[in-house]
Structure 1
Amino acid sequence: PAGRGDSEAQGVRELYWAGDDGPPGGDKGQGGPGGEVGLSGGTCPHPEGGARGPRLPPISQIHAHEAHRRKLHNTIQDMKGNIRVFCRLRPHVEEEGTGVIRPLLEDGSSHGTGVEVTMPGTEDGHPGPQHLFTFDRVFGPAASQDDVFLEISQLVQSALDGQKVCIFAYGQTGSGKTHTMLGEPENPGMIPRAMDKIFESSRGLQAQGWEFRMRASMMEIYNEEYRDLLGKGAAPPRGHKVVHDACGNTTVSDLTVIDVMQSGGVETLMKRALSQRSIGATALNERSSRSHCVFTLRIEGSCQGTGESSNGVLNLIDLAGSERLSKSMSVGDRLKETQAINKSLSALGDVICAIGSKAEHIPYRNSKLTWFLQPCLGGGAKTLMFVNLSPASQAAGESLCSLRFASKVNACEIGAARSRSGPLKN
């Protein structure tokens, strides 16, 4: 909900200067997380006066501040909630008719927390009903990819810190999901920007003695089947299987997993994968994604100097667009694809409703999509959903359905995310 985490600044100040919660040795640092840190040894002053803590060797001080940063970072993310919803309205195209969606933006900003939908009026001139929704963040059509990524970059950092993170885009076909998640070479989306962030941040940690192994995979869920988008050979005879273990780890059988060392390597893999993704033309979109596309990065880290280790997972998902059969005019293979897409998105809605009502049984097994997403929705991860909207008047009904679904997601509460980090095992 809007306003979630409003007390973060005060909470961080209290945590940062709390006597029992500081870094080892009692050193409170200077400048706070992300600020300037003195590395010359000696004691660091408390802002109210007085010296705190013994002299620390520079490398020990660096490790202490990094451990403290992680603690504060994860506390802030927990304050914001483990499931969040961002709304993004794509720009209006003239031939689409009158826009019916108005983002309620902060003065002089490209974002806010509210969105208003005015449904088309009746034939006799009566205005249509209005609906108001609030989310964690609403981006207007002028918001750039930079603006959007700035708001999710801290979740990406959580994956490097050992958390499971899932970010997915939901909305009708043609609403801008693929633009948001993948973008274009000259204007990359969230997935390539997330990779740049991961590798940039990991280089800073490597200077502190951390070592990382990163492995990428990419698959699609097409007609209720998992398909490897990086595989070179034929699919396994019995198909790919998703298995979740007791620790919340997810394994996809026979899926190609490739070690990556830099964001450029990921870009090459993505080009290869996307060339195999199922795309088709419908009456609503001449290049409609006919599958849910899942990019996964597994991040294993270790620091011999502190004995720490971490295991993070970042899932970035471009969902296929929901479509009304009467409007998409799908036939043949397109009809089968549309039915499979709508079934899986409906199953996702059923899971969200069950979570929201705290039902004893959550129907994760009703689709391949919800079964894969179980750890992301079941309390073991930090999850963010983009609801992408078209401003077109002819899309008002679908936009309203998307917003109502997103509102249900926004009202859900899931358990605390678990950080998969701890002492380094020999």
Structure 2
Amino acid sequence: MASSATLTTTHLPTLRTILDEWNQKRPATKGFPVPVAELRQSPDASKDVIVAFRTRPPLPNEAADKFHADPDAKDASVDADGQVAAVEFCAGITVTSAEPGVFVAHVPGMKWSGPTLTHKTYEADLAFSPDVDNEEVYQRTVAASDMLSLAISGGVGCILAYGQTGSGKTYTMESVEHRVARDLFDQARVVGKRLLEAQGGDHASAATGDIFEFSVTFLELLGKHASDLLESTEEVDSQGNPVRTEISVREDKVGNVRPNLISSSVRTSAELEELINKALSHRRTTATLRNATSSRSHAMLTITIKNTLLPYADEGQLILVDLAGSERYEDSKDHDKQRMEEARDNNKSLMNLKECVRAKAKMAAEDGFVHIPWRANKLTMLLKPIFDIESRQPSRTIIIAHVSPHIQDTIHSTNTLSYAAPFKTAPPKPRGPLPYDAKDPRTWDHDKTVEWLTAQFAKRAMKSRQAEWNVRAKAARLAGKKLKPLEDPAPGQLDLGFDVAKICPAGSTAKNLGMLYTPQFVQRCLEAQSGTALTQDQVKNTAVDIIGNLFYLIITAKTRKRNEIMKSRKKLVEEDAYGVAPRATKEYDEEEFLEAQIFYGPRWQELIIAARKKCKQEGKNWEIEYGITTDDMMDKFRAHKAAAVKEAAEKADLEGLE
């Protein structure tokens, strides 16, 4: 039986003795094979998900302040004055290997003979002991996994910090955010120089390598409510936390999740550092039983990176998420109603995140359709770039699971480590670009996109041209004249009213246009208008009509592809799930079998149940006995049916003689 924190503290001397005996017998801890000063990009950079465990050192007097023994227990530890002794720290987690990472959780329990310890082992890619500082954590996770280069090159990098309230998540994540700010721009300049040199850029441009634009958003998700941490507000609630406008989190018409957040452009490390500090100062914190300044929300920093040299390439993203602390009932039962609701919503979102990771691992391991329920929660909706099965962008995720060092928290630590284990997924099968499909705009190249746009504008120009001719023809008829039939213009002679090359410049595709909001596409069309044949309102209506057609084609293609994927779902084989159903030894017509059941009525099931009981008592095979029982009942039914037919025939013969 698991032990509560109070019971564990009461029996701490006994548990410490058991733990000391275990430590004496275990092998020496394996450290990292490569010192951090000699660290280079590791082979794990090719992995889709990297899992790391971390435990922090105990704070001064933390054990005495946080945990208390039962003074009424007969075996409670007392000092020389007969008072309950101050609680001293006892380790609940032991790191036995740093890489590959191995944590051993010492789970206290109770048996009839007294306190016990169960040593549970959990494995990860990396394990950080309490003496590892933040710089080494950053170097061995973000730097060694080449996460910054991935995002700069148009991929999606995500870093998640998860764990119990008070286990050190925010401490780790804030340090990672500031180190990303420190290194990101230098790394971008290195990549920029390489691209410019490869494309023959001039010496001055190649020297700076400043070809990337960086925009930053910072979102806070408190339960089901999202808000913008970069929004300035002077209004505060009863607890002194700022009150902000709620932001909606939903998909747009083509499936993109883009909350209406303040997007701030940054050009230097100092600007990004300042923005991070500003946002973090706005984050909601509340005192809980485990942490005086507990973060009650998920905080998501998103850095979007655009390549100005290749403006229509996929934009890279760095998503850094400090997840809200998970809580057990024991730690949250004394909260007020609002705190309880927050804890419940946070735990729901964390469980949905786990389900998405499990589904992604299943998708990597087998063929066919696997449903990833990322739409079930706002947290996973915001992480769509990682979970969307239709995404072609390369992605990599690092999850750092944090656990408390105290033995009183080991029960929760095992929950955290068990939660993080499924994140260590098999690498997904490599997927290239979508194959060309004339009906799917996401697969069109630049030339096909220009061809489609030209056809769309030509169709509307022809319609406008025909409408003008109809007006002139009507006027001519009223004047007793007749116009010549309208002839089709020669190729290239039709005035479209727009410069399609400005709407879809070199390198741009239908996929890029599909990412635009409708007002952005309208603005492009206004800027690309040629001549004065169309009024401003006509230009706007034409642009809205065309982008609406493009959205419709994208949605239709997505639906069609999703249906095709659904058809590839492996069908459930009932015999695999439920076993082979018992069958009769003889073959019967389904209609005849139903007639027999109607003939017997309730007696049919009574005979089956009685036969099954007898079979169980005698230890016989039910499948065989079922066949014998049904064969016997069917034989009797057939005999009755034959006798009835014979009797009817004889009666008919007698009536004929009379």
Structure 1 length as normaliser, TM-score? Answer: 0.71
Residues 6-405 of structure 1: pairs in structure 2 closer than 5 A: 79=46, 81-93=47-59, 95-96=62-63, 97-105=89-97, 112-122=100-110, 124-151=113-140, 152-153=142-143, 154-182=146-174, 189-208=175-194, 209=196, 210=209, 211-232=211-232, 239-243=247-251, 250-252=257-259, 254-303=260-309, 309=313, 311-328=315-332, 329-358=334-363, 360-378=370-388, 380=391, 381-405=395-419
SS in 1 for 2:232: coil
CA contact under 8 A between 1:91 and 1:141: conserved in structure 2?
yes
Name which of 507, 519, 534 aligns with 1:425. Answer: 507
CA distance in 2, matches of 1:377, 1:361: 10
CA contact under 8 A between 1:114 and 1:133: conserved in structure 2?
yes
Q: 1:271 to 1:401 in 2, by over 3 A?
A: same
SS in 2 for 1:167: strand
Q: Deviations over 1:209-235 (max 9, x none)?
A: 341100001011112121111123686
CA distance in 1, matches of 2:119, 2:284: 37
TM superposition shift of 1:326: 2.4
TM superposition shift of 1:343: 1.6
Q: 1:412 to 1:351 in 2, by over 3 A?
A: farther
Structure in which a larger fraction of residues adopt strand = 1
TM superposition shift of 1:244: 7.0
CA distance in 2, matches of 1:139, 1:77: 17
TM superposition shift of 1:167: 0.6
Structure 2: 5+ residue runs without aligned partners?
A: 1-32, 34-39, 64-88, 197-208, 234-242, 364-368, 434-444, 447-505, 509-658
CA distance in 2, matches of 1:196, 1:86: 22
Out of 167-176 and 122-131, give the one that drifted further.
Answer: 122-131
Equivalenced residues, count: 337
CA distance in 1, matches of 2:430, 2:284: 35
Q: Aligned partner of 2:258: which letter? A: T
CA distance in 2, matches of 1:417, 1:144: 37
TM superposition shift of 1:140: 0.8
Aligned residue number for residue 21 of structure 1: none
SS in 2 for 1:371: helix
Q: 1:76 to 1:302 in 2, by over 3 A?
A: farther
Structure in which a larger fraction of residues adopt helix = 2
Q: Computing the radius of gyration over CA atoms, which structure comes out larger, 1 or 2?
A: 2
CA contact under 8 A between 2:109 and 2:116: conserved in structure 1?
yes
SS in 1 for 2:381: helix
Q: 1:363 to 1:137 in 2, by over 3 A?
A: same
CA distance in 2, matches of 1:352, 1:212: 31
Q: Deviations over 1:202-260 (max 9, x none)?
A: 223444534110000101111212111112368667x32243787x96422x2100100
CA distance in 2, matches of 1:155, 1:142: 24
Structure number with greater CO (CA < 8 Å, separation at least 6) is 1
Q: 1:92 to 1:259 in 2, by over 3 A?
A: same
Of all paired residues, the percent bearing the same amino acid is 28
Q: Aligned partner of 1:322: which letter? A: S
Q: Aligned partner of 1:86: which letter? A: A
- RMSD (CA atoms): 3.0
Q: 1:415 to 1:277 in 2, by over 3 A?
A: farther
TM superposition shift of 1:159: 0.9
CA distance in 1, matches of 2:406, 2:432: 41
Q: Aligned partner of 2:52: which letter? A: F
CA contact under 8 A between 1:303 and 1:309: conserved in structure 2?
no
Q: Aligned partner of 2:371: which letter? A: H
TM superposition shift of 1:331: 1.1
Q: 1:417 to 1:393 in 2, by over 3 A?
A: farther
Q: 1:174 to 1:216 in 2, by over 3 A?
A: same
Aligned residue number for residue 603 of structure 2: none
TM superposition shift of 1:417: 8.0
